[in-house]
Chain A
């Protein structure tokens, strides 16, 4: 059994929470005591309000909207699923980016009565920017358009037209009614024209390939394990999680950014030493030579080095009330590395609903743009489009300690 992590995106009233509730309910992932709790809270259109399953905060229940990302879990005999339920409001773009950053798949909801709207553009842009490889467009509320195939096909056409400009690898469409459960877990009898799978059937079977399986081996060092006991007097293990590719004992290794070279002597786990380790395993690597290696360094296989530079170009999503202006300094965290950085320039801001590039002097909360950054020390990285794990970073305001920006390196 493996894990599929997905995000649900959609406008406020498109029925995201209801869809998740329906997935959990029809796949029998809801427990009796949870059901009783939401039944107590009242009904919507004569049915229990499944949306209450996901809105976990008081303020959310009071306002009937999702404020922050909630994570939900369910599994079938085929897969374990982790759902990032992200808010749809534009003022919560940063929360959607948060939820999207760890997802392999995005469900984009469209209200069948409204078709593709501004929010659809915005969410699809974020999905494309965050490089979520798989997109499932669920045309919801089919019950309100008489389960019309024509409506569904029109929306499909409309979506594909604007998605041409986006970098979405694989797009699938599904007609559903989250409220009634049509094509969510069980196939609908109201849409005999639909020959595809149900949403759950689709989620269970889709083959997910993540970049962690990409060939370039990357191992950011987290800690150095040095017990200095009699038994392990000379032990020096570099602990970390393999971000991509795999490492085998005997591989020639380059340490970045220093460029020092050695070979892998051993790969250790608590259960014993192993010959080969794959992403995303957490292991400890020992090298044949005594080198100066510490947290923030990256071990890579010699000949497959990433870029190492102090000048970076990136897309950035701004997440702080205080706008980002060129010249500002931040702490940049990328893999296990933390380095001081300053924003050199803001090339443009992207209008997320139209994808237009606009000239602007600063980035406000929830805005996305392209920047150039200068770091105090060289950073070893891959383009985000190749390896998410080494091409992503956050910016931390050293005054407030807040995470203020999310970056994707070009």
Chain B
């Protein structure tokens, strides 16, 4: 037989991600899937359904709740856990702050993005997780572009970009010493557009934040920020109501909205296709320095 059959790019990416998830299940004792309620981790849950149904997931969903999340994302998270019947573990950055392990940033726009790593590392230690699956993509940021699919972190959660294991073919080496853990990124090879096209193809549900809605905002460094109880406003801030949506969903303190009329997935895909800025362009925490992401990752962040 010489019959040719070519999978589409989305089918290839999906198959690769399922393969990676199943490798995690096989190679680790206590994996976890880090779930934030954003579109990328929602796709991961969908891919896990494809990898393990009719069985249960061989890992819990874990959310590191910064306390600055959008209500819509939290509700979506809880609904999804209930709908799938999978176990959800939530740990709170606020607890790390209360215990004196993490120190809240000062200033007008305090971000909990960096101290999230403290709670994450404590959670990894608490449950002895040896692998944490995450929805990071290499197209997001230049330091991410360097990251392996199986990324070994030392006992401090640190990433050493100069000491990465070679990763050959699709043979993943998940062997680690006690105390180390591996961050696994099944959708490394996806781009933002791939994610959206996949969401459309698979009819995956998303929090309403991703679609156009009216919201109170303020301007910060040319970016549109949602007004919330987590930011302090002063006289220089002008609160306006705009029609916006979120292209990426993180904390309310560091995730900027984009002005948009997109109310459907088709609208969003059209918008991204002509967009001249990256998704991370709306993340204030990445703009802090040239190597902001690299430095955070060395400190245990995803």
Give the interface of A toward B (CB within 8 A). 1-3, 31-34, 37, 41, 53-59, 61, 67-73, 75, 80, 82, 94-95, 97-98, 101-102, 209, 213, 215, 222-223, 225-227, 229, 231-232, 235, 239-241, 245-246, 269-270, 278, 280-282, 295, 319, 331, 333-336, 388-389, 392-394, 396, 398, 401-403, 406
For A403, give its contact among B14, B143, B144, B173 (CB under 8 Å): B173
- Distance A54 CA – B141 CA, assembled complex (angstroms): 10
Q: Which residues does chain A contribute within 8 Å of B16, judged by CB atoms?
A: 280, 282
Q: In the complex, are the beta carbons of A394 and B171 less than 8 A apart?
A: yes
B56 and chain A: residue at smallest CB distance:
A227
Q: In the complex, are the beta carbons of B277 and A97 less than 8 A apart?
A: no
Q: List 6 A-B contacts (CB under 8 A).
A: A1-B9, A32-B281, A70-B146, A239-B51, A282-B16, A401-B175
Q: In the complex, are the beta carbons of A102 and B166 less than 8 A apart?
A: no
Q: In the complex, are the beta carbons of A73 and B189 less than 8 A apart?
A: yes
9 closest cross-chain pairs (CB), A and B: A56-B142, A282-B18, A33-B281, A401-B175, A270-B50, A278-B5, A32-B276, A241-B19, A222-B22
- Distance A75 CA – B23 CA, assembled complex (angstroms): 28
Given contacts A227-B55, A402-B165, contact A215 B1 (CB under 8 A): yes
- Distance A231 CA – B294 CA, assembled complex (angstroms): 47
For A222, give its contact among B19, B171, B176, B275 (CB under 8 Å): B19
For B138, give its contact among A31, A73, A97, A213 (CB under 8 Å): A73
Whole-angstrom distance between the Cβ of A338 and the nearest chain B Cβ: 9
Q: In the complex, are the beta carbons of A31 and B276 less than 8 A apart?
A: yes
Give the interface of B toward A (CB within 8 A). 1-9, 11-16, 18-19, 22-23, 25-26, 49-56, 138-139, 141-146, 161-162, 164-171, 173, 175-177, 188-189, 191, 193-194, 275-278, 280-281, 290-291, 294
Q: In the complex, are the beta carbons of B55 and A246 less than 8 A apart?
A: no
- Distance A274 CA – B99 CA, assembled complex (angstroms): 53
Given contacts A56-B144, A392-B168, 19 further A-B contacts (CB under 8 A): A1-B9, A34-B278, A41-B290, A56-B143, A57-B143, A59-B162, A68-B161, A94-B166, A98-B168, A101-B168, A222-B19, A231-B54, A241-B18, A270-B50, A280-B12, A282-B22, A331-B175, A335-B171, A388-B169
Whole-angstrom distance between the Cβ of A349 and the nearest chain B Cβ: 19
- Distance A278 CA – B167 CA, assembled complex (angstroms): 25
For B169, give its contact among A61, A232, A270, A392 (CB under 8 Å): A392
Whole-angstrom distance between the Cβ of B110 and the nearest chain A Cβ: 23
B11 and chain A: residue at smallest CB distance:
A281
- Distance A215 CA – B3 CA, assembled complex (angstroms): 8
- Distance A393 CA – B56 CA, assembled complex (angstroms): 31
A228 and chain B: residue at smallest CB distance:
B55
Whole-angstrom distance between the Cβ of A298 and the nearest chain B Cβ: 14
Whole-angstrom distance between the Cβ of B29 and the nearest chain A Cβ: 14
B174 and chain A: residue at smallest CB distance:
A401
Given contacts A73-B139, A246-B5, contact A389 B169 (CB under 8 A): yes
Q: Which residues does chain B contribute within 8 Å of A59, judged by CB atoms?
A: 161-162
Q: Which residues does chain A contribute within 8 Å of B56, judged by CB atoms?
A: 227
Whole-angstrom distance between the Cβ of B258 and the nearest chain A Cβ: 12
| Among B14, B175, B290, residue most surrounded by chain A Cβ atoms (within 10 Å) | B175
